[in-house]
Amino acid sequence: MPSCPAGHDSISADFCDICGLAMGGVSAAAPSPTPSAVSAENCPECGEARTGRFCEGCSYDFVAGAGRTPAVTAAVAEPVDVSAPVPGPVPILGWAAVVSADRAHYDAVRLQDGPDAADIAFPAYCPERHFELTGQQIRIGRRSRSRGLEPEIDLTGPPADPGVSHLHAVLLSQPDGGWSVMDPGSTNGTTLNDDPDPIKTDIPIPVRDGDRIHVGAWTTITVRGPGSA
């Protein structure tokens, strides 16, 4: 009698009769991007996995190396998108998302009085960032080298919103050209506009021009439709 990877005896030869695991050497059909594809590097100071130029654990500068010398000259790969604050409204042609620190959302989160809410400060400086929405899906989250995850809308910061999950939400392109937002099961949930209840996980909700997607402790992503200012 064949036995499955977990050691159960099974009469069926395709999947184990007991636990359902694929029998004998059937492996994932899906190509799974392994973390080894990107250079796995750990911080020499604190051991945290490298996710960008600066260590998330202790701000060690991987580019400048040794110590925390502020590297002013670094024109090298700067992964954090700190595009300058946009002076005044600029016309947007396609769909776009504008990420901003939102005082009203921050206040609403603090009012809910979560266990860590009191420890989170509203960032003193956080320029608005614009992302064009193109392709089939746009992930919102914080990048993680160890999980091979680089969300298109990367909220790693600085400033870092500690309430944002690595994969927090996904914007999905709709057949009609519009977009919808889906929360694949973030830790703290995703809310829309003034609705205090988080959206249901795994269910895409269509969004329209001007809709505000709230994630984390103070981050609001405003959806801009085509042609809007």
Q: How far is CA 116 from CA 107, 162, 188, in A?
A: 14, 10, 11
* Stretch of 24-32, 43-51, 76-84, 156-164 lying at the interface with other proteins (CB under 8 A): 24-32
Helices (H), 86-125: 103-112
20/177 with CB nearer other proteins: 20
Is the bond preceding residue 175 a cis peptide, omega within 30 degrees? Answer: no
The answer to whether residue 147 forms part of the interface with other proteins (CB under 8 A) is yes
Cα(41)–Cα(33) distance, rounded to whole angstroms?
17
When asked if residue 226 is in the footprint of other proteins (CB under 8 A), the reply is: no
In the list 9, 14, 78, 107, the residue contacting other proteins (rule: CB under 8 A) is 14
Q: Which amino acid is at 45?
A: E
Select the residue interacting with other proteins from 53, 105, 139, 142 (CB under 8 A): 139
Work out which of 97, 164, 182, 217 binds other proteins, going by CB under 8 A: 182
> How many C-beta atoms lie closer than 10 Å to residue 205's C-beta?
15
Binding positions for other proteins, rule: CB under 8 A: 5, 14-22, 26-33, 137, 139, 147-149, 167, 170, 172, 182, 184-185, 202-204, 206, 208
